[in-house]
Amino acid sequence: MFPDLSEQLRQREQQGLLRQRKILESPQSTHVTMDGRDYLAFCSNDYLGLANHLDLIESASKGARRYGVGASASHLINGHSSAHHVLEEALAEFTGFPRALLFSTGYMANIGVVTALVGREDAIFADKLNHASLNDAALLSRAEFIRYPHDDLARLEQQLSSSNARRKLVISDAVFSMEGDIAPISELLAVCEKHQAMLLLDDAHGFGVLGRQGRGSLFLPDCTPIHSPNIIYMATLGKAAGVFGAFVAAQAEVIETLIQSARSYIYTTATPPLLAQALITSLKLIQQDEWRRDALTQNIVRLREALQSLPWKLLPSSTPIQPLLIGESAVAVCISQRLRERGILVPAIRPPTVPPNTARLRISLSAAHQPHDVLCLAEALQEIALQA
């Protein structure tokens, strides 16, 4: 019935680009059961090991007993519970902004922010390695969409200075999801302030992990822009926080504009309040459990040292995202499959998610990984390299 679609899928398969889902049969952890087999996993974003934490499970249970299992309405009708409200206030205080607003996902948050703040008469300036949600948001906004080479602030400044747009918005990952590197936030903000541009930072992979008490990329030692009114900060709550959702933190007038105009906030059912209840507990654990970030840092150092002798090189990264650059998609898929045969899960990331000829293994580390877990992965990769 759809021969063109069948041919398109066949071509994707031949190119090693056909994605396939696997069935997880256990809680998310460093050791999981998938498709009936036990694996050592390096593929989730559960950076602090909170996704299966007993305190969060208990908080979710208490939230379910108090609020039920569904919000059943949007926030602007009657789906905005006291749990949502308390969490928003806690997130604003934690990140140092006047107000915060919950969204169902980071994808919806980025789309909501961008489309609410800019339109046809405006311009968006985006790092070329940004997450797909930021790119899609830019396209949906109908603003002029201008991209600059990765971290090339000189090029960005040229673009900003030559723009006559009514409103200018710079959008960037704070931690780049496929590279693992951190944006030069202070310098990026300085360029934005010079040219009266707003700056949307997507800190999906930095929140909970980086900065003092895990407050995110804005709290790194060399970063001092937290009080700038130009910044709009987005972070997700399903990665280091271990649960689900996202939030945007910014000045009060920005948050109020999102409440009034962000379609991905207005026209969707609120997330279950039981998740907000669990996230309140998660936020407390993020603040107090410094040992989790210490363990994660040790795992990052341990992995990088153990993989130095491989023919494939790790990209520069001090974050839990450790990309091992392979090159060809078919080779990356083959290595991932050979690891899986050894009981180790590491995903192969291929175009179009990453640029052509930069297929890689995306190794995701967690505070819950034990030293022997990391060494097990390193030994398996060394064996595969010798057999190549």
177 is annotated as contributing to ligand binding: yes
DSSP code for 315? P
99 within 8 A of 249, measured Cβ to Cβ: yes
Alpha carbons 346 and 366: distance in angstroms, whole number = 13
- The catalytic residues are 177, 205, 239
**Positive or negative torsion for Cα 59, 65, 66, 70:** positive
Host H or E run for residue 236: strand 231-236
Of 150, 295, 134, 93, the residue nearest 209 (C-alpha)? 295
Alpha carbons 140 and 143: distance in angstroms, whole number = 8
Alpha carbons 370 and 375: distance in angstroms, whole number = 9
310 within 8 A of 382, measured Cβ to Cβ: yes
292 is annotated as contributing to ligand binding: no
148 is annotated as contributing to ligand binding: no
215 is annotated as contributing to ligand binding: no
> Exposure pattern of 170-198 as b/e (b: 16+ CB <10 Å)?
bbbbbbbbbbbbbbebeebbebbeebebb
236 is annotated as contributing to ligand binding: yes
Which residue type occupies 283? Answer: L
59 is annotated as contributing to ligand binding: no
User: At CB < 8 A and 24+ separation, what contacts does 137-145 make?
Assistant: 137/110, 137/111, 137/113, 137/171, 138/114, 138/171, 140/111, 140/114, 140/115, 141/114, 141/115, 143/118, 143/119, 143/169
Alpha carbons 127 and 343: distance in angstroms, whole number = 36
106 is annotated as contributing to ligand binding: yes
Instruction: At 64, list the tokens.
Output: 């379910």
**Positive or negative torsion for Cα 9, 14, 18, 20:** positive
19 is annotated as contributing to ligand binding: yes
Alpha carbons 202 and 177: distance in angstroms, whole number = 10
Q: Which residues are annotated binding-site positions for substrate? A: 19, 131, 353
Residues of the binding site for pyridoxal 5'-phosphate: 106-107, 177, 205, 236
Annotated binding-site positions: 19, 106-107, 131, 177, 205, 236, 353
